[in-house]
Structure 1
């Protein structure tokens, strides 16, 4: 094995925290120095768009396509991604090698005006860039106003402090990785507020036929997270999930079985359909597809239109 692997990452603070985790895990596993695992910071289209929702600009691939190009061209050996940013179909020649152990999957409610979502005053403004969060907020509190809030975690917190919005929702995983959990007002239970598919999981993308990189990564990948994400991503794929669709999904091992909960909502939160499926971990993809087909069969025409 050549004594060097280049890690591709976006340049946001959260992306860098995740890339450094990959660097640290590989260094410890391989017995290498950080210098043998350099980071290549790559600006993506998604990073440059701050004035509109990603759903209006092309969806999830906006955070990955530049890293995909660098990977296919051989300028990086692996790419570190937030799993929820990955499109359901990857470019030919690229695969997800696996995932690191999953962080907290829950969403955090953050506000300077209220102790919880239910305590916000009528008509309060909640800022988010996620249609999933928007739909679930409006399902619980149809009286609230939801507005677009883009930017990295620190930018969103600064906008909250300036009073541009009354509250926002962020992933607990990102706040933990950035050491910013002191900002959390309340943590939302997954029973009431289901996370995005892939939330909390770091995915490693590689060239499909690069045996050297697959071999280097194998000892540090987490099988349990892999089963969960296989089910969740198969579920999302059946529903043609993108940033344009309010879909939530979460799978986890319970007593040796894989349990998947899925949810699809109208964008205005006025209606929703849910599904729960249980099966063997090795049947994760089939389980996810079954859950997606179940919801698809029950979804009325025009369900995703406000």
Structure 2
């Protein structure tokens, strides 16, 4: 029986979603007669240590995965559970995404004092977020809002509604769903208002590319539709050379006519915006090839002037 060492960040959300993945893997191994047991290893990342500045000011690329990927390469762990939106576009040589389990709700959501929805927040309401993507799109929708940066785990950010006087905080709905905290959600933000982050709501299970046992095991919990949607979104991110310091969003959905096994079509909306929300560039497209779709939408955004926004922010 093989002991499979699973690496994860040590936040409550990371531990919860890793536990959920281990449960899926245990069920799959029992079903298919794969003899293994799982051992959890907590790893502190640089992103967990830097809490006094916004992610955009410290670069963002690999902040929550670098140390975990090094543990994989060093053989200290056999797989790692990541929030896919935290993963940089560039792949580390020798590593692979072995599975994308079924994606959960990719939308952003608001937790507000009194359960007030976004449209009814008072003029000048203080809204906390650490995301330039969120602040850009929210300010485009409600220029009167006072959007301020806020860091920490989801529980500490929610507490700041009281401790620091915020009227609302913006979070990924997926995190609250995974924690079983749906009742705390005051309002879901429609993608028509705020396009989610690339791969938001999806997990990426990473492993060494030369470990056939782990690759076979992870393949048992892969969700093909989620994998296709995430692949299209991440291809757009890579084409734009994006990261946390650029307000970029992408949201792909699968359309499948007919029953299981019939052809699928991807539909994707993408956005690049200025941090103040005064300029939002949006594109929509559809296709069957996620790589081609991601590239096509990225190129059309660049033709609209996304390259100038990106260059200015990098500068």
> Is TM (by shorter chain) over 0.5?
yes
d(CA) in 2 for partners of 1:100 and 1:72? Answer: 22
Classify 1:67/1:300 alpha carbon distance in 2 versus 1 (closer, same or farther; 3 Å): closer
- Write out the 4+ residue segments of structure 1 that deviate beyond 6 Å after TM superposition: 32-35
SS at the partner of 1:4?
Answer: strand
d(CA) in 2 for partners of 1:35 and 1:46? Answer: 31
**2:260 aligns to what?**
none
Are the aligned partners of 2:3 and 2:37 in contact in 1 as well (CA < 8 Å)?
yes
- Does structure 1 residue 251 correspond to structure 2 residue 257? no
Are the aligned partners of 1:112 and 1:166 in contact in 2 as well (CA < 8 Å)?
yes
TM-score by length of 1: 0.95
How far does residue 259 in structure 1 lie from its aligned partner after superposition? 0.7
d(CA) in 2 for partners of 1:22 and 1:119? Answer: 38
How far does residue 75 in structure 1 lie from its aligned partner after superposition? 0.5
Unaligned runs of 5+ in 2: 257-263
**2:303 aligns to what?**
297
Q: Deviations over 1:53-109 (max 9, x none)?
A: 111112131100000000000010001000100001121111211200000111111
- The count of corresponding residues between Structure 1 and Structure 2 is 303
TM-score by length of 2: 0.92
d(CA) in 1 for partners of 2:145 and 2:106? Answer: 24
Matches within 5 A, 1:153-164: 153-164=154-165
d(CA) in 1 for partners of 2:56 and 2:271? Answer: 19
Unaligned runs of 5+ in 1: none
Are the aligned partners of 2:137 and 2:280 in contact in 1 as well (CA < 8 Å)?
no
Are the aligned partners of 2:273 and 2:281 in contact in 1 as well (CA < 8 Å)?
yes
Q: Deviations over 1:15-68 (max 9, x none)?
A: 011110111011111128999201100000000111001111121311000000
How far does residue 116 in structure 1 lie from its aligned partner after superposition? 1.8
**1:24 aligns to what?**
23
How far does residue 144 in structure 1 lie from its aligned partner after superposition? 1.3
d(CA) in 2 for partners of 1:300 and 1:105? Answer: 24
Classify 1:300/1:279 alpha carbon distance in 2 versus 1 (closer, same or farther; 3 Å): closer
Classify 1:45/1:301 alpha carbon distance in 2 versus 1 (closer, same or farther; 3 Å): closer
